[in-house]
Every structure is written in C-alpha cells, then in structure tokens.
Chains A and B, each alone.
Chain A
Amino acid sequence: MKYIVFFSAALGLVLLYLLSLASANTAVVGDYYKILLYLNIALASLLVVLITFQIKSLYKSIKNQVVGSRLNLRMVSAFAMMAIIPGLIVYLVSVNFLSRSIESWFNVKVEAALDGGLSLGQRALDTLLDDMENQAESMATTLALQPGLLQYRVLHDLRERSGIQDATLLSPSGRIMAVSSAEASSFLPELPSVTQLRQAQYRLVGKVEPIPDKGLYLRVLVPVNSQELTGETLILQLLQPVPKSLSNTAEAVQDVYRDYQELSYSRNSIKDVFKLTLTLVLMLAMLSALAIAFVLSRRLSRPLTVLAEGTRTIADGNYSKMLPEHGNDELGVLVKSFNSMMRQLGDANKANEQNHQRLEAARGYLETTLAHLSSGVLAINRKGELRTFNLAAKDILGFNLAQYENQNLSKIAVENSFLAEFIKVIQTHFELTVDEGQVSAEMNRQLEVLGPSGKQLLSVRATRMPANANSGFVVVFDDITTMAQAQRDAAWGEVARRLAHEIKNPLTPIQLSAERMQHKLSDKLSVEDARMLARATSTIVSQVDALKSMVNKFSEYARAPSVSMKNIDLNQLIRDVSGLYEHSHADITYDLAKVMPDLLGDSTMLRQVLHNLMQNAQDALEGQVEPKITVKTSLDNNATVLMVSDNGQGFPEQILAHPYEPYVTTKAKGTGLGLAIVKKMVEEHLGQIFITNNATGGACISIKLPLKEALVELGAQKIDSKNKS
C-alpha cells in the first residue's frame, strides 16, 4: 500500500509537470496535451479508488475496535486538513488571478493596432499590385501589336525593362507559349489555377499569393488580344516576389495577428485549460496528500498501537508477549521501557503464582490431613463462631455442620440440645482463656452425650491458637464410646474367666465327695438319717451342677467366640427355633416380613440370641394372666429388624439405665449375663440393640442387623475403629 501511494504521488508529480509544460504551449508536449489530460484524470481516479479503499479499511478497523484506529483517524484528519485548506486557498486565488490576467491580455487597443498593422501590409501589397497591374496592361498592349513569332523576344525585353521576375504567355487552356524568367534556375513558372485562367480571358486579374516554399508573390494575369485575325487571345502572367523586407514584416504582422485572433477566439478555452490544469494539480496534490496522510498516520500510530496492544495483553494477564523494537526515537525508548516493565511484571506474577501454589499445596495437605483424621476437629474464631470443621467431626456429632459455618456456637447448642453440655464446656474454656489470655491453657475432658445414634462418650480437647493465626480455638474430640465399652468388656471378661477358673476347680471334688459320702454312709445310717443324707447330697450335687452351669456361662461370656459368617435367612431361623417353644405357657405370635433378604451372620450365635430373648420374655411372663410374646421381623433401610416384645412388667428404670451390664438382673435365678451376651453377639454382627418399655406395658427388645451390602461398608469402618482402640 505504502509503495502504491508513493508511486502514485511520484507519477502524479511527473504528469503535473508535463501538463503544466503543455499548458504553457511548449511544442514538444503540446501535442500530447490530450493524452496527458486523460492520464492525469486516470491517475486522479486511481487515487480516489486508493483513498476509498483506505477509508474503508480504516472504517472497518474502527468498527472492529482495533487498537489505534481512532488515533489513526484523528491523525489522518489532521494531516488532510493541513494539506487541503492551504491547497484550496492557493487554488482559489490562482484561478481567480488567472482568469483575470487572461482577460487582461485582450484589449481593444492591441486588437486595433494589430488590425492597423495588417491593413498597412495589405495596403502596401495592394500598391505594389496596382503598379504591377499597370505594367502588365502596358506590356499586354505592346505584346498585342507584335506578330506571334516575335512575341517571345518582345516579352523578354519587356520583362527585362520592367524588372519583373517571371513573365509567361499562356494559351487560354493553360499551355505555355513563351516564358521569360530572371531566375535562371526555374524551368517552369508557377502556373495560375483554372479559375484564374478563365477569369483572365476577359479582364485583368491581380493577386497577392503565398506560394509554398517560395514566399509571398504578386501574380497578375492579363488578356493579350492579338491584332491578328486568326490570332487567339493569349494570357500574360507576371509573377513578382514581394520584396523580402516587406514580405517578412507583413508575414510577421500577419502571424501575430493570427495568433492574436486565435487566442482571442479561444480565450475561454484557454481559461478552461488553465483552470482544468490547476484543478487537476489541486486534485492530484490533495489526493496524494490524503493518501500519504493515511500511510504516515499509520506509521506514526503504529508504535502507539503496539503499546496499546501490549497494555491489553497485560490486562488479559499475558506477560510473555514482548513488543517488537521500534527505532531509537522516544517511542522506541517507550517501547523498550514497556518491555522491561512487562518482564518485571511477568517475573513478579510468576513468583506470586508460585507462592500461591505453595500455599494451595499446604492448604491441601492440611485439608487432606484433617479430612482423614478420625478425630473430629472444629476451628472456632475469635468471636466464637465456627470457622471450619472436618469430616470426622460431622460423623461423630451425627449432623451436618456446614449450615452452622460462620455462626455462633450457641446456635448449635440451641438447635441440638443434646450438644448443650459439649458446647458449654467449650465456651467456658474459650471465655476463660480469652479473658485471661492464657495461650497455653489446654482443656481435656470426657463428656457423655446422648446423640441420635445412642449414648456417646466423647473425649474433648480444646486449645487456643497462637495469636497470629486469627487467634481462635481448635477443638479436637474423639468418640471413645466403643473404646470404653471394649475396655469394660475386656475387664468383665477377665473377671468372668478368673471366677470361672477359681470356682470350677473345687466343684468336681465337692460333687464327687458328696456322692461318695452318700454311697458309703447310706447303708450305715438309719433310714431317717439315710434319707436326710440323700436329700443333702442331692442338694449339694444339684447346687454344684447349677454352679457349674453358671461358671460355664461365665466362661462363655468371657470367651472370645470365633465367628463364622454365612448367608442366613432370619425368618427360617426363627421358624426353626419356634419349635422349641411350642409348649410354652405364653401365647407366641410370629409376625415375619414377607420379603427378607439374606443376611451375613453366624447361625449358632443368632440362634443363641433368639433363645436368650425368648427365654427372657418367658421368664418375664411368669405369673402373668394372659402371657403374650410377639416376634416380629421387618426391613428398615439397609437393615433387618428383629423385635421381641412381651406384655409383662417391663424393665424397671434402674435397669434401663444400664441394661447390658453383667450381673444386672430382675430374675430370682438369673445370672444377669443374658442381655450382656446378646449385646456382645449383636455387636459381633455389627448390629445395634435397643431396649425399651412398651407404652401399653411390657418390654420390647429390638435388634437391628445390617444387610449383606451395608455390612461390607460398616465392617470396614468398625475394623478401623477397633484397630485404633
């Protein structure tokens, strides 16, 4: 584009120069005036097309909001103004001046002078011609008197005498009869035209004639009427060049006159030529200036455009793009400083990003650690609001803590009343440490909480965070219910095992001694004594048996049973066991679920559980008027529920508080181990046991056993927690 513009401008200059030469009437270029005119017009059109194209592309870039296009437009307008306004002024002034000055060339005086000059010349020539006509007439008269043969000699004499250059005698048809010439070189005289010949037959014809290559001549034709009877009329032609001095002057005057007339005739056209030339000059100059303005403004605005582009890339967050170098001027320096600024920014940004990543990694590490911690963690800020919590906290407390985020702890206590004590303990410690500023103070407490999933024993530790870390609080708590239970179970197991061992050892010798005593003494004693002995030994034996069975139960409780899990149909198991209670004094109702998926369990254990529950119910109904036992199975989400209820007295309050403690019983003969064993077995199956009293009276024991699918999941968790404990 740039080259096209400059080329057009240069071409325009050449054409304009030629055109101005042509306008100034130079012969060489004058002939090509029209061609030049057309060429100029063509060039102007080309420039118009070029500028239209440039304007269009500029408009497009403005529309597309290309950076720098508006600046470009402003510069182009400024340049165009700078070129067009002075150009127009010069143009208008020169056009006005030209038309006025051209008009001043033509005035009446000059024209009159030229006319006078011309007519002076004409008059002079006429005088010469008159003289020559007189001479011709006298020559003709002389010739007419001469006989034909002498005519040539006479003609020659006459010519010599009169000093005329050429004298020719012609026949009326134009045939040359006789010639006499002062010029030795000319063979043939200039002959008159047919018309002239015809006219000359009757009268004298005199004319001033320009003859090509020879100049201005005076030609006189006169008829020669021969005196002879047979003689035909001849025509005498006299040819005399106009004296050089006169003819030159006259021709010069005529040339000037002609030029003047020509100019005067075409004065409007001349004005038009000048106007046209000027207009073309203006147009070409303007258009070239405009086209060059486009190129220049683009050139000037390019570094700014580049800078603006750079700024935009920075705004977009891209620091890697360097701007191209741009000369050594101020703009170049600007570009250089911009580049270095961009580099620094890029470096800073990179460092920042790295820091951010490091921070993120640390955070991620912390979060992952927190999330996989089995202890619940609550972070509390200075205002006593919950900042963060981990997954374990949610699991242990049994509800979603997310809704309480950035809210005061009291709100949790209000909405979850079972946590009131837990929260209170934390808040108390919080307030204590806040007020006293005891940074190192740490609280360690164990709390019993009655959550939705039963009683939980929580071990709570609360610590104040260092002052710079938003000086809040971290509460870490563990659910130690299972652990505490396991410890208790283990203790009881140990007691039972020892007791069984200690008690069982002397039992057999006692029994054997008693039996032996009876065997040896029964014959030696009187009937009465013998009966008494028999009664006493049988009491001893039966009591020892009872003791043995009690000890066996103890050891059973203490023994860690090996569980062998199999697919079990609970309903079928109940049906099998029900056979043993057909003759029970109580009325047993079976309400079994129609669809009961298999569960994974140890059939012996479950059978034992069922026996224990049934036995308990039967024992509880001793002496009841209308004893009734209901055995019911149902499905609850992922678990099977087995419920055994009776219409007896129900559990007394003190038992409900600790129903599974060994040796807690209401029965006269009971060991208090039944429910403890049941609970142990249910726990082996990862199940739950609930003991309640019916509203209508009587006790209800429900056992919730997870289904096979749920078991897999639960098992994994339990095994984890067991391992930990």
Chain B
Amino acid sequence: MHCCKKVSLFFAFMMTCLLASASDHHVIIKSADLKSSGEAYILNADLEISLGEKVEEAINKGVPVEFVYEFKLVSPRAFWFDKVVVKTRTRITVSYHALSRQYLVKQSERQTSHEILREAMIELVQLYDWDVFERALIEKGRGYQAILSMHLDDSRLPKAIQVEAIRSEDWHLASEDFVWKPKVKWLPEILNQ
C-alpha cells in the first residue's frame, strides 16, 4: 500500500510538472471571424498567448521575436486535396528597445511602443482588421473553410538561439489550426441584398 501511495504521488508530481510545463508557454486561438469590409474580407481574432519564461527573458535581453500568423481559405473537394483559395501571412515582431525602455511591436509598417511587455502582448493577442482576401475570389455555390494558425518563427532568431530552439521545447510556440466555416457569400448575392 505504502508503495502504491509513493507511486501515485510520483505520478501526481509528474503530471503537475507536465501541466506546469504545458501551461508555461502556449498559444490558443480563442476566436476568429471573417467580416466583409468593402471589396475585401477582414479577419478579427482573439488569442491567448503565454510566452514562457525563456522567451520572455530573451525578449528582455533584446532578442527580437517574430510571430507569424497564417490564414488559409480552402475549398474542400470530393476526391482530391482541398483547393487552397487564399494563403496569406502577416508577421508581428516584438522587441525591447533598451534606450527608451520600451517594448516595440512592429507589424509591417506599423510600430507601437509599450512600457511593459504585457501591454505589448495585447497587440499580439488581438488581431484587428486584417485584410485577408478580395471578395471577388469567392465563387458561387462552393463551401469554404477558413484556417488560422500562429507560431513563433524560430528561423528568424539569432543562430545561437536557433540551435537552442531545435533542442528546447521552450521555443516551440505554436497554436493548433483554428478551423471554422466562414459566412462568405458570392459577390452578386451581396449586391442583391
């Protein structure tokens, strides 16, 4: 009995460790939605990101960390691979500017600065008005599937850290595919409304 207790304790400890390590860093896409805006569809999404100790430490030491958001619109086909209608990416880089003691978040041309990292992270977890595709791409009578995913791009990291990223789980920060059926409509249908 005593032995059993020990074993169960050990397992409980292991599980806790696992959970701890799992919850230490993670990316979850909580929601995502496509909206029509003018001639295009735009994407809004809500994520939950926990960078983990290692990545945060690296950012604080000045390592720029880049996140890639990938959006895919696919049209399922009966006896073949799904047709990829749209595949687009956007990159958001987080870095620490030691001179101004600010965290800079840069998405293409746009750059914002934040006093604290948590504030900067808000830029990462909330995607607003990402222009993903033209409305004209939607065809009549087809079903569509939208897929959103996000990951830390370790190929843009400094080489030394790349090597560490290969062997360390801490740098493996990626969401699972968030798949949903968007309410997209053929252009004339919208015009008719």
Taking Cβ atoms with an 8 Å cutoff, the residues of A that contact B are 22-23, 25, 30-31, 33-34, 37, 118, 121-122, 125, 193, 195, 207-212, 216, 250-251, 253-254, 257-259, 261-270, 272-273, 276
Whether the pair B164, A25 counts as a contact (CB closer than 8 A) is no
Whether the pair B97, A266 counts as a contact (CB closer than 8 A) is no
Residues of chain B within 8 A of A250, CB atoms compared:
99
Residues of chain A within 8 A of B98, CB atoms compared:
118, 254, 257-258
Q: For chain B, residues 107 to 131, give those with C-beta under 8 angstroms from any C-beta of chain A.
A: 109, 111-113, 119
Residue of B nearest to A23 (CB): B159
Whether the pair B113, A264 counts as a contact (CB closer than 8 A) is no
- Residue B63 at the A interface, CB < 8 A? yes
Q: For chain B, residues 80 to 117, give those with C-beta under 8 angstroms from any C-beta of chain A.
A: 97-102, 104, 106, 109, 111-113
Whether the pair A265, B162 counts as a contact (CB closer than 8 A) is no
**From B99, B111, B159, contact of A22 by CB (8 A):** B159
Q: For chain B, residues 59 to 75, give those with C-beta under 8 angstroms from any C-beta of chain A.
A: 61-63
Residues of chain A within 8 A of B176, CB atoms compared:
none
Whether the pair A216, B99 counts as a contact (CB closer than 8 A) is yes
Query: Please, how many angstroms separate the alpha-carbon atoms of A30 and B63 in the complex?
Result: 16
- Shortest C-beta distance, B80 to chain A (Å), equals 31
Whether the pair A212, B160 counts as a contact (CB closer than 8 A) is no
Query: Given the interface contacts A209-B102, A272-B164, does A33 sit within 8 Å of B159 by beta carbon?
Result: yes
Query: Please, how many angstroms separate the alpha-carbon atoms of A387 and B57 in the complex?
Result: 112
Query: Interface size (B, Cβ < 8 Å)?
Result: 27
Query: Please, how many angstroms separate the alpha-carbon atoms of A23 and B99 in the complex?
Result: 29
Taking Cβ atoms with an 8 Å cutoff, the residues of B that contact A are 57-58, 61-63, 97-102, 104, 106, 109, 111-113, 119, 155, 158-164, 166
Residue of B nearest to A31 (CB): B155
Besides the known contacts A254-B99, A258-B98, 7 further A-B residue pairs in the complex with CB atoms under 8 A apart: A34-B155, A37-B166, A207-B100, A209-B113, A212-B106, A216-B99, A273-B159
Query: Please, how many angstroms separate the alpha-carbon atoms of A263 and B158 in the complex?
Result: 9
Residues of chain A within 8 A of B159, CB atoms compared:
22-23, 25, 30, 33, 273
Q: B97, B102, B104, B119 — which one has the most chain A CB atoms within 10 A of its CB?
A: B97
Query: Please, how many angstroms separate the alpha-carbon atoms of A121 and B101 in the complex?
Result: 11
Query: Please, how many angstroms separate the alpha-carbon atoms of A118 and B97 in the complex?
Result: 11
Whether the pair A266, B100 counts as a contact (CB closer than 8 A) is no
Residues of chain A within 8 A of B163, CB atoms compared:
33, 269, 272-273, 276
Query: Please, how many angstroms separate the alpha-carbon atoms of A211 and B106 in the complex?
Result: 11
Whether the pair A263, B160 counts as a contact (CB closer than 8 A) is yes
Query: Please, how many angstroms separate the alpha-carbon atoms of A261 and B57 in the complex?
Result: 10
Whether the pair B58, A265 counts as a contact (CB closer than 8 A) is yes
- Shortest C-beta distance, A234 to chain B (Å), equals 23
Query: Please, how many angstroms separate the alpha-carbon atoms of A25 and B99 in the complex?
Result: 25
Q: B97, B158, B160, B166 — which one has the most chain A CB atoms within 10 A of its CB?
A: B160
Whether the pair A266, B164 counts as a contact (CB closer than 8 A) is yes
- Shortest C-beta distance, A606 to chain B (Å), equals 115
Residues of chain A within 8 A of B164, CB atoms compared:
266, 268-269, 272
Whether the pair A266, B161 counts as a contact (CB closer than 8 A) is yes
Residue of B nearest to A264 (CB): B61
Whether the pair A270, B160 counts as a contact (CB closer than 8 A) is yes
Residue of B nearest to A193 (CB): B112
Residues of chain A within 8 A of B162, CB atoms compared:
33-34
Whether the pair A262, B62 counts as a contact (CB closer than 8 A) is yes
- Shortest C-beta distance, A117 to chain B (Å), equals 10
**From A23, A37, A265, contact of B63 by CB (8 A):** A265
Whether the pair A262, B61 counts as a contact (CB closer than 8 A) is yes
Whether the pair B99, A122 counts as a contact (CB closer than 8 A) is yes
Whether the pair B109, A212 counts as a contact (CB closer than 8 A) is yes
Residues of chain B within 8 A of A261, CB atoms compared:
61-63
Query: Please, how many angstroms separate the alpha-carbon atoms of A33 and B157 in the complex?
Result: 11
Whether the pair B97, A210 counts as a contact (CB closer than 8 A) is yes
Residue of B nearest to A114 (CB): B98
Residues of chain B within 8 A of A258, CB atoms compared:
61-63, 98
- Shortest C-beta distance, A144 to chain B (Å), equals 28
Whether the pair B62, A257 counts as a contact (CB closer than 8 A) is yes
Residue of B nearest to A32 (CB): B155
Query: Please, how many angstroms separate the alpha-carbon atoms of A33 and B98 in the complex?
Result: 28
Residues of chain B within 8 A of A216, CB atoms compared:
99-100
Whether the pair A208, B63 counts as a contact (CB closer than 8 A) is no
Whether the pair B111, A208 counts as a contact (CB closer than 8 A) is no
Query: Given the interface contacts A258-B62, A264-B61, does A208 sit within 8 Å of B161 by beta carbon?
Result: no
Residues of chain B within 8 A of A264, CB atoms compared:
61
Whether the pair B113, A251 counts as a contact (CB closer than 8 A) is no
Query: Please, how many angstroms separate the alpha-carbon atoms of A401 and B119 in the complex?
Result: 127
Whether the pair A207, B102 counts as a contact (CB closer than 8 A) is yes
Residues of chain A within 8 A of B61, CB atoms compared:
258, 261-262, 264-265
Residues of chain B within 8 A of A266, CB atoms compared:
158, 160-161, 164
Whether the pair B161, A269 counts as a contact (CB closer than 8 A) is yes
- Shortest C-beta distance, A110 to chain B (Å), equals 15
- Shortest C-beta distance, B164 to chain A (Å), equals 4
A-B contact pairs, 29 of them (CB 8 A): A34-B162, A118-B99, A122-B99, A125-B99, A193-B112, A208-B100, A209-B100, A209-B102, A210-B104, A210-B111, A211-B111, A212-B106, A212-B109, A212-B111, A254-B98, A254-B99, A257-B62, A261-B62, A262-B61, A262-B158, A265-B58, A265-B61, A265-B63, A266-B161, A269-B163, A269-B164, A270-B160, A273-B159, A276-B163
Query: Given the interface contacts A258-B62, A258-B98, A262-B62, does A210 sit within 8 Å of B113 by beta carbon?
Result: yes
Query: Please, how many angstroms separate the alpha-carbon atoms of A270 and B164 in the complex?
Result: 9
Query: Please, how many angstroms separate the alpha-carbon atoms of A121 and B155 in the complex?
Result: 32
Residue of A nearest to B166 (CB): A34
Residue of A nearest to B156 (CB): A31
- Shortest C-beta distance, A261 to chain B (Å), equals 4
Query: Please, how many angstroms separate the alpha-carbon atoms of A22 and B162 in the complex?
Result: 12
- Shortest C-beta distance, A30 to chain B (Å), equals 5
Residue of B nearest to A209 (CB): B113
Residues of chain A within 8 A of B158, CB atoms compared:
262, 266
Residues of chain B within 8 A of A37, CB atoms compared:
166
Query: Please, how many angstroms separate the alpha-carbon atoms of A255 and B17 in the complex?
Result: 38
- Shortest C-beta distance, B128 to chain A (Å), equals 12
Residues of chain B within 8 A of A262, CB atoms compared:
58, 61-63, 158, 160-161
Query: Please, how many angstroms separate the alpha-carbon atoms of A269 and B159 in the complex?
Result: 9
Residue of B nearest to A258 (CB): B62
Query: Please, how many angstroms separate the alpha-carbon atoms of A272 and B165 in the complex?
Result: 12
- Shortest C-beta distance, B147 to chain A (Å), equals 25
Residues of chain A within 8 A of B99, CB atoms compared:
118, 121-122, 125, 208, 210, 216, 250-251, 253-254
Residue of B nearest to A267 (CB): B160
- Shortest C-beta distance, A697 to chain B (Å), equals 124
- Shortest C-beta distance, A245 to chain B (Å), equals 15
Residue of B nearest to A253 (CB): B99
Query: Please, how many angstroms separate the alpha-carbon atoms of A22 and B57 in the complex?
Result: 25
- Shortest C-beta distance, A260 to chain B (Å), equals 9
Query: Please, how many angstroms separate the alpha-carbon atoms of A270 and B159 in the complex?
Result: 8
- Shortest C-beta distance, A691 to chain B (Å), equals 122
- Shortest C-beta distance, A129 to chain B (Å), equals 10
Residues of chain B within 8 A of A211, CB atoms compared:
111
Residues of chain B within 8 A of A253, CB atoms compared:
99
Whether the pair B160, A210 counts as a contact (CB closer than 8 A) is no
**From A25, A195, A254, contact of B97 by CB (8 A):** A254
Query: Please, how many angstroms separate the alpha-carbon atoms of A267 and B161 in the complex?
Result: 9
Residues of chain B within 8 A of A30, CB atoms compared:
159
Residue of B nearest to A33 (CB): B159
Query: Please, how many angstroms separate the alpha-carbon atoms of A251 and B57 in the complex?
Result: 21
